[in-house]
Amino acid sequence: MFFDATDRIHQTMRRVALKLEEAGIQYALVGGMAVNAHQHPRTTKDVNFLITPQGMASFLRTYIPAEFEPSAGHPRRFVDRVTGVTFDFLVTGRFPGNGQPGPIAYPDPENVSQTIDNTRVVNLATLIELKLAARRHKDFGDVVELIRVHNLDETFTSRVHPTVHGDFIECLEEKRREDEYEARENRAFERTFRPDLPPESA
């Protein structure tokens, strides 16, 4: 159900996005749903939106508790009563990863978003930059797959903050190592099950 976009996660994504648009609140999808929007299909259990502090305040005034429930102990996490799915707001000016101040902060969604399938999503460079800045293994894994899907190379570093250039190159090299491993496995398979193939040249 997830990959045909009929599941509860997609329902919440669309419902919250519609409410934000109705209230005139600028937003952009980030996180796993943004990874999907940028052509690397993977599942996720929640939805993340980039939003400004002013947008956050407006959302609280307009929709809490009328439309959505706050999540105890998480001031920027809410629950969609209709689906039971949680969604988080990542707020402009705060910092990815452990939240400690650093060179990369969450930007204004108006400056870094594009429309994909009728929903505002952070652009590819911003998505990759934020995932590298978060410094989590699963985020690095997403970057490896985005590199693969979009056939990115070293020139892409010009589009992200200098402090994550090294991490981007590490992800690029990991993608190339994985490609080489898969190619070796394919050749070994062919040699085993296709004895009619000519020998490899030296």
Q: What's the pLDDT at 184? A: 82
Parse the chain into domains and list their residue ranges. 2-193
Residue with tokens 């796993």: 32
Q: What's the pLDDT at 114? A: 98
> What is the SS3 assignment for 89?
strand
Tell me: the pLDDT tens digits for 60-73? 999 999 999 999 99
Tell me: the pLDDT tens digits for 95-121? 999 889 999 999 999 999 999 999 999
CATH code given to domain 2-193: 3.30.460
Bridge partners for 87 per DSSP: 47, 78
Q: What's the pLDDT at 202? A: 44
Best CA proximity match to 21, nearest among 48, 64, 51, 45: 51
Pairing of strands 74-80, 119-122: unpaired
Radius of gyration of the chain (CA): 20
* Spans in the chain with pLDDT lower than 50: 202
**Do residues 9 and 29 make contact, with C-beta atoms less than 8 angstroms apart?**
no
What's the CA gap between 144 and 136, in Å, rounded?
13
Angle 52-106-164 (CA atoms, 0-180°, nearest 5)? 170
Tokens of 140: 């690095």
pTM score: 0.91
What's the CA gap between 127 and 123, in Å, rounded?
6
**Do residues 27 and 68 make contact, with C-beta atoms less than 8 angstroms apart?**
no
Q: Which amino acid is at 190?
A: E
Q: What's the pLDDT at 165? A: 98
